[in-house]
Structure 1
């Protein structure tokens, strides 16, 4: 296996370990919600005037899948839809009081996860972080271009 393959495998393994570690905590805190639903609420909480298109782009999902998820969140009372007076066609989403509570708990969990991992990042220099971020951004732009070649139009975060 060459260095590039090792790096990609390391990214995957790192991501899978984070998901595994965080998942049990997520399940305990949000037993009535799937991880994707909690992250959808996180996006809505952080981004004003969230709509199906923006959510689909952010999560690399179809509009249909996002519509289904937001309908479930509305039914659970965590999200509500609204329209702007100047645009009666477009449907937007915002968190309800219940959704805000879930959002706050999720933000606290992120703080816990960052604290858990702080020991590693305390050992990394600013220069090393900049270098790694540069590589990730370059790789992300490359993948965006590959996705566009397949006919999809996404926006990189």
Structure 2
């Protein structure tokens, strides 16, 4: 067992959590991870409905129904139906929801810029090896989640 590697992963996750809290704009406070990422999914998708959002986020439709109900109650999203199809309900962001979407995107882009600056110091072969390792590790973790009856993350 490679204890040093496992400890490095623990430290990495702890530091990412600390950085997230330090860089999180207070405008996003009061909303949990699932709510913000549901807002992001609605902003990213064309005519998103519960099924599309659930597939995009790789979570259950029941979870998305619960989250969208809460976001609707907070006036962050609104529901609509297309002419000719009164069965499917779609969602779009309200002005307040779009504001949160934009704030989340700003934070995400700052994170990418910050960490890409670090990654650029390594040659492409090293980066490719790390990518290969991380993909394999994430596939392994996804299999563990699925084996336990869960639904894996979107990435």
TM-score range with shorter-chain normalisation?
0.7 to 0.9
Offset at residue 51 of structure 1 (A): 3.2
Distance 1:14 1:98, change over 3 A: same
What are the Cα deviations for residues 92-136 of structure 1, in whole angstroms up to 9, with x where unaligned? 322222212211121112222233334422212222222222222
Once residues 26 and 109 of structure 1 are traced to their aligned partners in structure 2, the CA distance between those partners, rounded to angstroms, is: 7
| Paired residues of 2:76 and 2:93 also in contact (CA < 8 A) | yes
- The answer to whether residue 137 in structure 2 is matched with residue 145 in structure 1 is no
Partner of 1:89: 87
Partner of 1:77: 75
Once residues 66 and 42 of structure 2 are traced to their aligned partners in structure 1, the CA distance between those partners, rounded to angstroms, is: 15
From 103, 114, 117, give the equivalent of 2:112: 114
Corresponding residue SS for 2:136: helix
Q: TM-score, normalised by structure 2?
A: 0.75
Structure 2 residue ranges without an equivalent (≥5) = none
| Paired residues of 1:77 and 1:96 also in contact (CA < 8 A) | yes
Partner of 2:46: 48
What are the Cα deviations for residues 38-69 of structure 1, in whole angstroms up to 9, with x where unaligned? 12211221222333344445555443332221
Offset at residue 86 of structure 1 (A): 5.6
From 121, 124, 128, give the equivalent of 2:122: 124
- The answer to whether residue 57 in structure 2 is matched with residue 36 in structure 1 is no
Corresponding residue SS for 1:144: helix
CA RMSD of aligned residues (A): 2.9
Once residues 36 and 153 of structure 2 are traced to their aligned partners in structure 1, the CA distance between those partners, rounded to angstroms, is: 21
Structure 1 residue ranges without an equivalent (≥5) = none
Offset at residue 138 of structure 1 (A): 2.0
Corresponding residue SS for 2:24: helix
Once residues 139 and 59 of structure 2 are traced to their aligned partners in structure 1, the CA distance between those partners, rounded to angstroms, is: 18
- Which range moves more in the overlay, 53-62 or 38-47? 53-62
